[in-house]
Amino acid sequence: KARALGILGFLTKPVDPEELTKLIGELWIKDRTAHLA
């Protein structure tokens, strides 16, 4: 839940697409590695 709230807080701020893409990429990789662990 904390992670979801952090993402929501991040999305409510003006953000540049590169930063958002990088953030999503990192979260996706963490999610993938969590499933593999």
pLDDT digits (tens, 9 = 90+) for 26-35: 999 998 888 7
Q: What are phi and psi of 15, to 5 degrees?
A: -140, 145
Total structural domains in the chain?
A: 1
Residue type, 4: A
Spatial contact of 23 and 10, defined as CB atoms under 8 Å apart = yes
26 closest CA partner among 8, 7, 13, 12: 7
Q: What is the pLDDT of residue 7?
A: 75
* Reported pTM: 0.45
Domain carrying residue 32: 2-36
pLDDT classification of 14: cutoffs 50, 70, 90: confident
Mean pLDDT across the chain: 82
